[in-house]
Amino acid sequence: MATRTDAPTRREQILKEAARLFAERGFHGVGVDEIGAAVGISGPGLYRHFPGKDAMLAELLVGISDSLLTGAKRRLAEADGVRDSGAVLDSLIEGHIDFALDDRPLITLHDRELDRLRDADRKMVRQLQRQYVELWVGVLREVYPALAEPAARSAVHSVFGLLNSTPHLGRPGSLPGRAVTASLLHRMARGAFAAVGEAR
């Protein structure tokens, strides 16, 4: 989502506003009419794009998990043949930071509303997330070969928790600036990995 540079489609506009409203007021606190008003169409007009709020929530949460995994795979493919595994890890961190800064409502939405998904959709989210974690684990163990797989996996989950803390940093205008915040998050992520990987 955060990497698109062309104009968003109406469907994407609906999803963006739905994510914002769901994150601000909760899934049950938002009506279809309000989502429609936010994008300039009638509530019933939304049904040309989605059968209901449940479908929007599913597409948002499955979609962002798929987007993160696809982005990570692309970064690994672009780094194919690169000997510096640290640079590959940096690239993964940068990609996740882009998500954490640009799609903050989706982090809140995931934390609060994942259990509202149908079982099949929730399982899909978890499956995509597991694959995403394992990509990171593989790269992290290339950077720190002595790091055992369980410790690497715990470290990845911990760094995700750190990076995904962005909804708690205050409103976007209150942050010190995107570049400064991204740099800080990157240093903290690298520091956390180093603390685990270099431990004796």
Q: Is residue 161 part of a domain?
A: yes
Mean pLDDT, residues 185-193 taken together: 97
Count of domains for the chain:
1
pLDDT at site 2: 46
Q: Is residue 31 part of a domain?
A: no
Query: Buried b vs exposed e over 98-125: b needs ≥16 C-beta within 10 Å?
Result: bbbbebbbbbbbbeebeebbeeebbebb
Range of the domain at 120: 52-197
pLDDT at site 175: 64
Q: Is residue 77 part of a domain?
A: yes
Q: Is residue 16 part of a domain?
A: no
- Model pLDDT for residues 93-149, shown as the tens digit of each residue: 999 999 999 999 999 999 999 999 999 999 999 999 999 999 999 999 999 999 999
CA distance 183 to 179: 6
Q: Is residue 38 part of a domain?
A: no
What pTM was computed for the model? 0.89
Q: Is residue 193 part of a domain?
A: yes
Question: The tokens of 179 are what?
Answer: 């570049």
Q: Is residue 187 part of a domain?
A: yes
Q: Is residue 156 part of a domain?
A: yes
- Model pLDDT for residues 67-109, shown as the tens digit of each residue: 999 999 999 999 877 778 999 999 999 999 999 999 999 999 9
The CATH number of the domain where 83 resides is what? 1.10.357.10
